[in-house]
Amino acid sequence: MLRWNGDPALVSGATREECSILNERRQALIRILLESHQPITIRHLATVLKTSSRTIRYDLGQINDWCADNGLNLIRKPHSGVLLDQRGLSRDDILRRLVLAGPSEFVARPAERQRLTVSWLLAGAEAICPESLQTRLGVSHSTAVNDLRTVENWLGRYGISLRRDAAGAITLQSTERQWRQVVADLVAEYTEGGQLLTRLRTTSATERNPSHDVVDESESLRTMIQLSGLDAANRLQTLTEMVSEHLGVPPTEPALPNLVVHLAIAVSRVRQGKTIPASAAHLEELRSAAGYSTAERLAEALEQAFQVRLPEPEVGYLGLHLASLAQKRQADDEDGESRVMARDFYRLASSLLGAGPLMDEDDILALALHLKPIRHRLSEGLFLRNPLLNEIKQKLPKFFEVASKAGKVVESRVGLRLPEEEIGYLAIHLGAAVEKKKLSRRRVLLVCGSGIGTANLLAASLSKYMPDVEIVGTVSPVGVEDALSHLRVDHVISTIRLDLQDMRVSYVSGIPDQAEIQLIKKRLGLEQEAAPALAGAKGARIAGGNLPVLSDLLTKNHIALDVPAMNWQEAVTAAGDVLVRAGDVDSAYVQSMVQAIEQLGPYVVVAPGCAMPHARPTAAVRRVSMSLIRLREPVRFGNEENDPVDLVFPLAAVDTNTHLKALSQLTKLLQNEADLKRIRTARSVDEVLDVVQRYSPDSEE
């Protein structure tokens, strides 16, 4: 990235130090004092700010004037240190004044002039020429010409040139990509310094410093904010939250602002009809890039949230940004200090909680990534918003307490006190680690009807597929209650029906198949539960992998031929009873299938003669399952076109996803008239099985 401040050609004349009253160190000093309710010693301040005590004393003298001007009182207490009396002013108000008094207002003039010139050129709203710059910036003609030359050079590095028309008006010659890159880079300068965030958060983002006569820093910042589309209400925050949620990275991730700025720019430009074109070949390349699929999902969310349609090349470029973010994060992992802090924190927290080591490397990494920018956050007074703070204190009082104690290791390393918002985040990390640990070893009781042989077989396959499960005992159905009364058991896994009114029981066959294993994992919380099927059924994504195929579900005991039924209710009930007998569902599920049709109509009759009744996944569904019954006499469901029905395939789903593969194979089967005819004329269940088998090519493995 090209940096403006770092470009010696642009920063000339007075240095920051000379012309600023509150340089960065003095700002930081005020922020530290602002966060402390106790006096802080000068020696401590000097250590934190990495300077001498003498400098701090000098700085305090300078700050004293500023404080007095702003109605604050700087109190020096002999032998105990310095304290800032806020005199009833709110923290936000003081922070805002700090920003306005910051070095940004006093940045070297030429750099700011040139920056403004660039922002006017980028905006392209008015004609720019040396004469107009002369009046707008209050400089001489030769200075204006010089500024333009510098600007032209700088833009040239982006491949952008200036065009002068016959009347001398100057416009940018840039592609959309170049334009966006310049805006993003300029905005990034503000983002990195934290100025942008603070400025957007303070209420009067447009407030000017009246003492500054011609132009001030906030004007170029304001223009950049407008150009990037970040001026819309809460845009920055909404986007940050959205991206952090989609990518699973903390909102504090240091590389996030850059991405968010690019997104904001993309959204606002696309809205104006300014999109990045891409050739077909280039598009293909973008599609195959690493971040593309994530980009597609993120794009969908953006489209919904901002009511825009992002053309494919935009999604492709978004993918490139995501890929580079991932790379940056990876590079960040190698940083040592934040990991040490995270490890120390967990170590102390574990001993305070009186537990064994709580964390694994994943926890440490997650916390380290959160802690990495903490020094910057604290010293810049950039506080994380923590909307959950009160809830955390209420619901996780123990973790909050421990986090504030264990947080001392972070405080001593950073040299700053942690505000409650930060402690709240530490408490969440801690709670998550403890929760994970709790989940990771589930205590399971096995119940087998036919003795030790089956039990051993079951134990073997369970420990193979679920190494985190601890089998605390194996008993016969008679011994269950006794075992439950004296063993701590999280879950019961049984091969036969138990007379137990307990939600913790799962039923499996002696050698559980993939579908059963998946279901048990889900029930044990070893696998993340898919979003509840009811509200957000769009989570259904096409996934290959270990999903059960049609022949896994339609096994021999799931098929029944020539079943008698007088009406559709009897037909659905009979088909559902097959699932009940196999231990797949409780009879409550069968009733809800009937109710669903009563309420929602006969749309389950999906094709002529074929019905697929189903209801929502509830506790009554033990595992994903399906049966196939052929009725002796067809019945009418009330679907004019497709009645009468003679084939019924009830479906029991556990989520929106697990049944996907089987459902897709069933669709193929229903599309094949010849195979449906084979099922209708089959003389045995085996003949039906042969047909089913053909639609499950993956089932041989």
Quickly list H helices, 353-500: 361-371, 374-379, 389-395, 397-406, 408-414, 420-440, 452-465, 480-486
Site for another protein in 28-67 (CB under 8 A): none
In the complex with another protein, which residue's Cβ is closer, 462 or 691? 691
In the complex with another protein, which residue's Cβ is closer, 641 or 701? 641
Q: Kind and range of the H or E element at 478?
A: none
Give dist(CA 171, CA 164) in Å, integer: 7
**Looking at 46-54, 367-375, 492-500, 528-536, which segment touches another protein (CB under 8 A)?**
528-536
Name the minimum Å distance from CB 340 to another protein.
45
**Looking at 147-155, 207-215, 246-254, 600-608, which segment touches another protein (CB under 8 A)?**
600-608
Of 44, 370, 491, 614, the catalytic one is: 614
Nearest alpha carbon to residue 566 among 649, 639, 636: 636
In the complex with another protein, which residue's Cβ is closer, 182 or 635? 635
Name the minimum Å distance from CB 279 to another protein.
12
- Backbone dihedral region for residue 70 (phi beyond 0: left; psi -120 to 50: alpha; all else: beta): alpha
Q: Which pair of tokens denotes residue 630?
A: 């052929």
Indicate the burial class of 160 (C-beta count within 10 angstroms; 0-12, 13-18, 19 or more): buried
Q: Tell me which of 653, 679, 688, 691 binds another protein, using CB under 8 A.
A: 653
Phi, psi of 694 (to 5 degrees): -65, -20
Question: Per-residue x/- marks for another protein, 324-363, CB under 8 A?
Answer: ----------------------------------------
Q: Kind and range of the H or E element at 207?
A: none
Q: Which letter does DSSP use for residue 139 in this model?
A: -
Q: Which letter does DSSP use for residue 479 in this model?
A: G
Q: Tell me which of 119, 252, 656, 696 binds another protein, using CB under 8 A.
A: 656
In the complex with another protein, which residue's Cβ is closer, 1 or 588? 588
Q: Which pair of tokens denotes residue 369?
A: 């990534």
Does 583 help bind another protein (rule: CB under 8 A)? no
Name the minimum Å distance from CB 627 to another protein.
15
Q: Tell me which of 238, 664, 693, 699 binds another protein, using CB under 8 A.
A: 664
Q: Which pair of tokens denotes residue 425?
A: 């985040």
- Secondary structure in 3-state letters for 613-670: CECCCCCCECCCEECEEEEEEEECCCCCCCCCEEEECCEECCCCCCCHHHHHHHHHHH
**Looking at 180-188, 459-467, 517-525, 660-668, which segment touches another protein (CB under 8 A)?**
660-668
Q: Are 154 and 7 in contact (CB under 8 A)?
A: yes
Question: Exposed e or buried b for every residue in 497-509, given b needs 16+ CB within 10 A?
Answer: ebeeeeeebbbbe
Q: Tell me which of 614, 622, 623, 630 binds another protein, using CB under 8 A.
A: 614
Give dist(CA 380, CA 45) in Å, integer: 14
Nearest alpha carbon to residue 515 among 545, 485, 539, 536: 545
Q: What is each CA distance from 269 to 250, 276, 438, 678, in whole angstroms?
A: 27, 9, 48, 58
Name the minimum Å distance from CB 242 to another protein.
16
Question: Per-residue x/- marks for another protein, 372-401, CB under 8 A?
Answer: ------------------------------
In the complex with another protein, which residue's Cβ is closer, 35 or 584? 584
Give dist(CA 335, CA 375) in Å, integer: 14
Tell me the three state secondary structure of residue 696.
coil
Nearest alpha carbon to residue 619 among 503, 508, 494, 514: 503
Q: Are 208 and 217 in contact (CB under 8 A)?
A: no
Does 167 help bind another protein (rule: CB under 8 A)? no
Q: Tell me which of 667, 685, 693, 699 binds another protein, using CB under 8 A.
A: 667
Does 93 help bind another protein (rule: CB under 8 A)? no
In the complex with another protein, which residue's Cβ is closer, 316 or 373? 316
Mark whether 614 is an active-site residue.
yes
Name the minimum Å distance from CB 554 to another protein.
16
Name the minimum Å distance from CB 647 to another protein.
12
Phi, psi of 625 (to 5 degrees): -160, 165
Does 588 help bind another protein (rule: CB under 8 A)? no
Question: Per-residue x/- marks for another protein, 625-644, CB under 8 A?
Answer: --------------x-xx--
Does 697 help bind another protein (rule: CB under 8 A)? no
Site for another protein in 401-430 (CB under 8 A): none
In the complex with another protein, which residue's Cβ is closer, 256 or 612? 612
**Looking at 326-334, 411-419, 455-463, 529-537, which segment touches another protein (CB under 8 A)?**
529-537
Q: Which amino acid is at 63?
A: I
Q: Tell me which of 281, 542, 566, 674 binds another protein, using CB under 8 A.
A: 542
Name the minimum Å distance from CB 640 to another protein.
8
Site for another protein in 264-323 (CB under 8 A): 300, 303-304, 307, 309, 311-312, 315
Q: Tell me which of 169, 290, 596, 682 binds another protein, using CB under 8 A.
A: 596
Q: Which residues pair with 563 in a beta bridge?
A: 631
Residues taking part in catalysis:
614
Interacting residues with another protein (CB under 8 A): 300, 303-304, 307, 309, 311-312, 315, 533-538, 540, 542, 596, 599-608, 610, 612, 614-617, 639, 641-642, 651, 653, 655-656, 659-660, 663-664, 666-667, 670-671
